Amino acid sequence: MEQSPPKNSSVTIIGGGLAGSEAAFQLAERGIKVNLFEMRPLTNTEAHSTAFLAELLCSNSLKSMDITNSNGLLKKELELGNSLLIKIAYETKVPSGNALSVDRDLFSQKITEIIETHPYIRVIREEVSEIPDTDSPVIIASGPLTSQKLAKKLEELTGSQLYFFDAISPIIDADSIDYSKCFFKSRYGKGEDDYLNCPMNREEYEIFYEALIKSERVKFKDFEKMAVYEKCIPIEELADRGIKTLLFGPMRPVGLEHPISGEKYKAVIQLRKENIEGTAYNIVGFQTKMTIESQKKVFRLIPGLENAEFLRFGSVHRNTYINSPKLLEKNYKMINKNIYFAGQISGVEGYVESIASGFTASLDIFYRYFEKKDLSYPPDTALYSLQNYVSTCQDKSFNPSNFHFGMLSPIDGIRDKKLKKEKMANRALEKIANFFEKLS
């Protein structure tokens, strides 16, 4: 059961990545003592190359600064909440147009210096192989490369096997779909017309197939080269097995004749609603290792998606994460325990999302345990939507996700897509600004 730690107790954070570093700072700034465990450099991972906290492993970009972009909106909300890592990102910014890209070494160095010299933070350089048995709150932010010892203990804690592969299909902005080329129907007409179907004739399929097998692909890293479950096979690798393979897999046309004309097709791609409002659709079974540019080129060959706007691109990679909807309540807290998950292990995807999860978990701990207050973000904000996704996602197979505009309630009556996003962003920022003002 939950405990009520005294004012002078400390919080334990496992993992000094983006989420752990942000969480440690937010708690320390509020006068809470933090024990931050980071196993590097004593125990390295397959991907890290330094001992710095908050090391960026892949790109040095935190993506767009435009509030009509999902990453831009989430960053702006964090900025309004005085996020340390977003502040340092702007201080270490390098030229990259409208994107917030950083000098990755300087970014991590500055954060490490701030964290290690903070009077309320104790950085402990050792591997954690047991879940701390303490009445005080614990944040597990060990990341997608969680050590095997800790992963085993987490499996015992959660009562289920951790997911080790992230098979993500692209998500499309519903407003960018040409519905005149598609039709709604479930296979064989069973159930409601839950799927939006994009049909192809023989010529369209052959053009699509040729582009798919010739696409540029992101190579698996050495530590990702392990047995990939069949359901996680990238769409382009399925295509490599032969031109008919997709026709018996994710592009199977059987049972998907046109509901009015009865016309049969060579292939059919199914899109499924990503949310109740229907503002976003995912391409069913289209996990991919194609580069982003190749995804744009190839997937826009699908009838109805010629002008598709991508809310999230597809991917397949190793990613240790928990089945959050079954384990977490709001704000990344484990049900009936003093344990929080933050960063990619919680089921968020992306740099800014990891920062946001650490930020939210730390605020919830502070207000729940030390101030005896409830922390409830206002709906239709990015911070609310992200934590709500990981705790309430209804998909049978839970997949990590970035924040995207499809998680927000739509604004009706506006046809211009950019204006609609601007209105949604301004609504979110007004709500979150008022929230932080009242919170303080």
For residue 166, the model assigns a pLDDT of: 57
Q: Quick check: 239 pLDDT over 90?
A: yes
Q: Quick check: 336 pLDDT over 70?
A: yes
Give every strand in the sheet of 195-200, ordered side by side: 183-184, 195-200, 267-273, 280-283, 171-173, 310-312
Lowest mean pLDDT among 94-98, 120-124, 318-322: 94-98
| Residue length of the chain | 440
For residue 388, the model assigns a pLDDT of: 97
User: What's the pLDDT band for 276 if we cut at 50, 70, 90?
Assistant: low
Q: Quick check: 84 pLDDT over 60?
A: yes
Q: Quick check: 231 pLDDT over 60?
A: no
For residue 357, the model assigns a pLDDT of: 98
Q: Which residue did the predictor score with more confidence, 358 or 134?
A: 358
CA dist 397 → 87, 251, 299, 402, 421 (Å): 35, 20, 23, 16, 29
Task: Kindly report, residue by residue over 293-304, the tens digit of the pLDDT.
Answer: 999 999 999 999
Element (H, E) at 364: helix 351-365
Q: Quick check: 46 pLDDT over 90?
A: no
Do the beta carbons of residue 104 and residue 65 sit within 8 Å?
no
Q: How far apart are CA 46 and CA 63, in angstroms?
A: 25
Mean pLDDT is highest, among 43-47, 101-105, 172-176, 283-287, for: 172-176
CA dist 63 → 68, 73, 103, 109 (Å): 12, 11, 14, 20
Q: Quick check: 2 pLDDT over 60?
A: no
220 DSSP assignment: P
For residue 4, the model assigns a pLDDT of: 59
User: What's the pLDDT band for 220 if we cut at 50, 70, 90?
Assistant: low
**Mean pLDDT (whole number) for 182-194:** 83
Task: Kindly report, residue by residue over 87-119, the tens digit of the pLDDT.
Answer: 999 999 886 778 898 888 899 999 999 999 999
399 DSSP assignment: -
Sign of CA dihedral 302, 304, 308, 310: negative
| CATH entry 2.40.40.20 includes domain 10-162+322-439 | no
Lowest mean pLDDT among 31-35, 236-240, 241-245, 395-399: 395-399
For residue 215, the model assigns a pLDDT of: 96
User: What's the pLDDT band for 227 if we cut at 50, 70, 90?
Assistant: very low
For residue 107, the model assigns a pLDDT of: 93
Label residues 196-222 b or e (16+ Cβ within 10 Å = b): bbbbbeeebbeebbebbeebeeeeeee
User: What's the pLDDT band for 192 if we cut at 50, 70, 90?
Assistant: confident
350 token code pair? 């992306």
| Residue where the block lists tokens 């908050």 | 54
Fold topology of 171-316: Elongation Factor Tu (Ef-tu); domain 3 (2.40.30)
The C-alpha angle with vertex 153 and arms to 151 and 158, in degrees rounded to 5, equals 90
Count of C-beta atoms within a 10 Å radius of residue 6: 10
For residue 95, is the peptide bond before it cis, meaning its omega torsion is within 30 degrees of 0?
Answer: no
343 token code pair? 């960063």
For residue 160, the model assigns a pLDDT of: 78
Lowest mean pLDDT among 25-39, 88-102, 123-137, 222-236: 222-236
Q: How far apart are CA 85 and CA 439, in angstroms?
A: 20
One-letter identity of residue 187: R
Q: In whole numbers, what is the pLDDT of the chain averaged over residues? A: 89
Q: How far apart are CA 233 and CA 122, in angstroms?
A: 43
Q: How far apart are CA 184 and CA 33, in angstroms?
A: 55
Q: Is 27 helix (H, G, I), strand (E, B) or coil?
A: helix
Q: How far apart are CA 55 and CA 110, in angstroms?
A: 11
The set of residues, in sequence order, having a beta carbon less than 8 Å from that of 195 and lying 6+ positions away, is 184, 185, 186, 187, 270, 271, 272, 284
Q: What percent of the chain clears pLDDT 90, i.e. is strictly above it?
A: 68
pTM: 0.75
For residue 35, the model assigns a pLDDT of: 97
Domain-wise residue ranges, the chain: 10-162+322-439, 171-316
